[in-house]
Amino acid sequence: MTPAEKRELLHKDRERVWHPFTQMKDYAERDHLLIEKAEGLYLYDADGNRYYDTVSSWWVNVHGHGHPRIKQAIARQLEDTDHIMFSGFTHRPAIELADKLIEIAPPGLGKVFYSDNGSTAVEVALKMSFQYWQHVGRPGKTKFAFLEHSYHGDTLGAVSVGGVDLYHATFRPLLFDAYRVTAPRISRWENGSPTPEAAEHGVAEALEAVKRLFESSADEIAGFIIEPMVQAAGGILIHPAAYVAGVRELCTRYEVHLIADEVAVGFGRTGTMFACEHAGITPDLLILSKGLTAGIMPLAATLCTDRIYEAFYDDYETMKTFFHGHSFTGNPLACAVALESLRLFEEERVLEHVRTISEALRGQLPRFEPFRHLGNIRQLGMIAAFDLVQDTETGKAFPSSERRGYHVYLEALKEGLILRPLGDTIYYWLPHCTSEEQLHDIVDRTCAVLERLGYR
């Protein structure tokens, strides 16, 4: 691309494009990064600068960018079909993918309902759960419970069960009422790993909160939605598996659907194929997207138990149909890519590699300990995070006006790293294809950034 073309494109970007999750005034003087090529773990801008995609392009990428097998899968499928509507019609990629998902998902999930992004798959789960209780003669079960710090997407149903005020509070007048439940207080604020006793205490306390809610209100609660193991957009908060197992047990006992949102953590990111496996549980509804297509095509799926499905199965006149669907439901190209990605998981032993790199990542984390104002270092699988705080003893935050995380982001770009923070939480959400050498280089560069910004 010539410098003139680049200038012209960026000018049009500023004039015409409104980017998500962005205060556009930040870009009144500064350009967005114009990316021209993506390959493996790297993005290349129009000037040829290379950046490590340490956040897997918003937590989606799995096998790296531009994987030849994924490209071929799209091309092959396009020879046969482009998009096909999915009511009254079906196709091989969607059928085979549903079959495969049921095979690899936690046991007991029997049906796959497709959509095309994480938020809509959340909407599907909420509506399915709600309608199920209407069909089985429990019409009072109309509400949902969710965890503080939770993030389930940006559509209004998903926002109604969202627990991050920064993103969600503005829309409150538009939202349905839902119960906000206290999350386990384990990683915030302990400065480093919590002791096993602290973790156990945190889990017990949080489960007690769920139990109290269910004892008083389970009659009106359809489902409890959680991000199992890692609350992602709420600040990369890692929960013990015992919490997820305890929630499953309470949901079963009090007849509340457990809705597991694995949009972000599914497909190996936490070291197991699905995060629910850490706790050895099966949710009633499982929500998948992002890594489903290895982060290449928009696709999502909501899996449910046969019991839920059967409550909708009746004569048309009973109005038990699930009236929900999107134009791009089960897009064949996206399904073909998802299938190819799952073949790669098996053939290239991706989960074994993830376990090796996760160990290596754990081994690197002590390198952050000597830094000032840095604490709460945590990790699960390919995910690791730390917080920048004024006082590492108390966890007192820096004034938000200082935008510490944002400054790390800007400095990291100069170092060839995309470290996209959540407030003052800096994290890695590494693609599965990361090599040990690349991991070391990423940590070296992160340390250099912190050093330059005076955190040593």
Q: Rule CB under 6 A: which residues touch ligand PMP?
A: 117-119, 122, 151-153, 227, 232-233, 261, 263-264, 289
Which among 106, 123, 105, 350 has a CA at the least distance from the CA of 114? 123
In this structure, which amino acid lies at residue 306? D
Would you say 261 is a known binding-site residue? yes
Q: How far is the CB of 158 from ligand PMP (least distance, A)?
A: 6
- Whole-angstrom distance, CA of residue 407 vs CA of residue 453: 8
Nearest residue by C-beta to ligand PMP? 118
Question: What is the dihedral sign for C-alpha 103, 108, 109, 110?
Answer: positive
122 vs 218, beta carbon nearer ligand PMP: 122
158 vs 354, beta carbon nearer ligand PMP: 158
227 vs 424, beta carbon nearer ligand PMP: 227
**177 CA to centre of own chain:** 24
Q: How far is the CB of 293 from ligand PMP (least distance, A)?
A: 11
- Whole-angstrom distance, CA of residue 269 vs CA of residue 307: 29
Can you list the pairs that 87-95 forms with residues at least 24 positions away whose Cβ atoms lie under 8 Å? 87/325, 91/330, 91/332, 91/335, 93/332, 93/333, 93/335, 93/336, 93/338, 93/339, 94/330, 94/332, 94/335
56 vs 358, beta carbon nearer ligand PMP: 56
Would you say 290 is a known binding-site residue? yes
Would you say 320 is a known binding-site residue? no
Contact 396, 384 (CB under 8 A): no
Alpha-carbon dihedral angle through residues 219, 225, 231, 235, given to the nearest 10 degrees: -70
Would you say 185 is a known binding-site residue? no
Q: How far is the CB of 310 from ligand PMP (least distance, A)?
A: 27
- Cβ burial of 176 (10 Å; 0-12, 13-18, 19+) is middle
Would you say 325 is a known binding-site residue? yes
Q: How far is the CB of 333 from ligand PMP (least distance, A)?
A: 17
Would you say 201 is a known binding-site residue? no
144: helix, coil or strand?
Answer: strand
Would you say 119 is a known binding-site residue? yes
287 vs 447, beta carbon nearer ligand PMP: 287
Q: How far is the CB of 231 from ligand PMP (least distance, A)?
A: 8
CA atoms within 13 A on the CB side of 372: 8
Would you say 58 is a known binding-site residue? yes
Q: What is the CA radius of gyration of the chain?
A: 22
- Whole-angstrom distance, CA of residue 106 vs CA of residue 121: 18
227 vs 340, beta carbon nearer ligand PMP: 227
Q: How far is the CB of 150 from ligand PMP (least distance, A)?
A: 8
Binding residues for pyridoxal 5'-phosphate: 118-119, 261, 326-327
Residue numbering of the annotated binding site: 58, 118-119, 151, 261, 290, 325-327, 420
Known binding positions for substrate: 58, 151, 290, 325, 420
